[in-house]
Amino acid sequence: MTRALLLAVALMSTPALAEEAKGNPAEGRIKAYTCTGCHGVTGWRNAYPNYSVPRIAGQNYDYVVAALTGYRNGDRAHPTMRAQGESLSDADIRDIAAYLSSLDTAAK
Protein backbone atom coordinates (compact mmCIF):
# COMPACT_ATOMS: atom_id res chain seq x y z
CA MET A 1 0.00 0.00 0.00
CA THR A 2 2.79 2.42 0.88
CA ARG A 3 4.53 1.91 -2.48
CA ALA A 4 1.32 2.60 -4.35
CA LEU A 5 0.77 5.78 -2.36
CA LEU A 6 4.34 6.95 -2.97
CA LEU A 7 4.03 6.20 -6.67
CA ALA A 8 0.75 8.13 -6.88
CA VAL A 9 2.29 11.16 -5.15
CA ALA A 10 5.35 11.01 -7.41
CA LEU A 11 3.23 10.86 -10.55
CA MET A 12 1.05 13.75 -9.43
CA SER A 13 4.07 15.99 -8.78
CA THR A 14 5.91 15.14 -12.01
CA PRO A 15 4.07 17.67 -14.26
CA ALA A 16 4.80 20.46 -11.79
CA LEU A 17 8.48 19.53 -11.67
CA ALA A 18 8.65 19.36 -15.46
CA GLU A 19 7.13 22.83 -15.77
CA GLU A 20 9.53 24.21 -13.17
CA ALA A 21 12.45 22.64 -15.05
CA LYS A 22 11.31 24.46 -18.18
CA GLY A 23 11.63 27.86 -16.54
CA ASN A 24 9.39 30.59 -15.23
CA PRO A 25 7.79 32.80 -17.90
CA ALA A 26 7.20 35.64 -15.41
CA GLU A 27 10.89 35.69 -14.51
CA GLY A 28 11.78 35.32 -18.18
CA ARG A 29 9.77 38.42 -19.06
CA ILE A 30 11.98 40.45 -16.74
CA LYS A 31 15.20 38.81 -17.93
CA ALA A 32 14.36 39.21 -21.64
CA TYR A 33 14.32 43.01 -21.54
CA THR A 34 17.57 43.25 -23.53
CA CYS A 35 16.23 40.81 -26.14
CA THR A 36 13.36 43.09 -27.06
CA GLY A 37 15.75 45.92 -27.87
CA CYS A 38 16.59 44.28 -31.18
CA HIS A 39 14.16 41.40 -31.58
CA GLY A 40 11.10 43.39 -30.53
CA VAL A 41 11.39 46.03 -33.24
CA THR A 42 9.56 45.06 -36.42
CA GLY A 43 11.70 45.56 -39.49
CA TRP A 44 14.85 46.48 -37.56
CA ARG A 45 18.04 45.84 -39.53
CA ASN A 46 21.72 46.00 -38.69
CA ALA A 47 23.87 48.60 -40.42
CA TYR A 48 26.64 46.06 -41.13
CA PRO A 49 26.43 43.27 -41.98
CA ASN A 50 23.06 43.87 -43.52
CA TYR A 51 20.55 41.28 -42.27
CA SER A 52 17.18 41.22 -40.60
CA VAL A 53 16.99 40.41 -36.91
CA PRO A 54 14.90 37.26 -36.40
CA ARG A 55 11.60 37.44 -34.58
CA ILE A 56 11.77 35.46 -31.36
CA ALA A 57 8.25 35.89 -29.96
CA GLY A 58 6.56 32.49 -29.95
CA GLN A 59 9.79 30.68 -30.85
CA ASN A 60 10.09 27.03 -29.82
CA TYR A 61 11.27 26.61 -26.21
CA ASP A 62 13.95 24.03 -27.00
CA TYR A 63 15.29 26.10 -29.88
CA VAL A 64 15.70 29.20 -27.66
CA VAL A 65 17.48 27.14 -25.00
CA ALA A 66 19.81 25.61 -27.60
CA ALA A 67 20.52 28.95 -29.29
CA LEU A 68 21.23 30.89 -26.10
CA THR A 69 23.35 28.06 -24.72
CA GLY A 70 25.25 27.94 -28.00
CA TYR A 71 25.94 31.68 -27.92
CA ARG A 72 27.01 31.49 -24.28
CA ASN A 73 29.39 28.60 -24.95
CA GLY A 74 30.78 30.09 -28.16
CA ASP A 75 29.33 27.33 -30.36
CA ARG A 76 27.27 29.90 -32.28
CA ALA A 77 29.08 32.88 -33.75
CA HIS A 78 27.57 36.33 -33.32
CA PRO A 79 29.46 38.94 -31.27
CA THR A 80 26.40 40.69 -29.82
CA MET A 81 24.57 37.48 -28.98
CA ARG A 82 27.76 35.98 -27.53
CA ALA A 83 28.04 38.98 -25.18
CA GLN A 84 24.39 38.60 -24.19
CA GLY A 85 24.67 34.83 -23.69
CA GLU A 86 27.81 34.97 -21.57
CA SER A 87 25.92 36.70 -18.78
CA LEU A 88 23.12 34.11 -18.61
CA SER A 89 22.89 31.17 -16.23
CA ASP A 90 21.10 27.95 -17.17
CA ALA A 91 18.10 29.11 -15.12
CA ASP A 92 18.10 32.49 -16.92
CA ILE A 93 18.09 30.73 -20.29
CA ARG A 94 15.21 28.45 -19.26
CA ASP A 95 13.20 31.41 -17.94
CA ILE A 96 13.76 33.47 -21.10
CA ALA A 97 12.86 30.50 -23.30
CA ALA A 98 9.70 29.87 -21.26
CA TYR A 99 8.67 33.51 -21.67
CA LEU A 100 9.44 33.81 -25.38
CA SER A 101 7.78 30.51 -26.25
CA SER A 102 4.65 31.57 -24.36
CA LEU A 103 4.11 34.68 -26.47
CA ASP A 104 1.28 34.70 -28.99
CA THR A 105 2.75 35.61 -32.37
CA ALA A 106 -0.69 36.32 -33.81
CA ALA A 107 -0.93 39.40 -31.58
CA LYS A 108 1.94 41.10 -33.43
pLDDT in tens, 12-34: 544 544 555 899 999 999 999 98
Q: What is the pTM (predicted TM-score) of this model?
A: 0.75
Q: Domains, the chain, ranges and CATH?
A: 23-107 (1.10.760.10)
Whole-angstrom distance, CA of residue 100 vs CA of residue 93: 10
pLDDT in tens, 60-91: 999 999 999 999 999 999 999 999 999 999 99
Evaluated on CA atoms 44, 46, 52, 54, the torsion sign reads negative
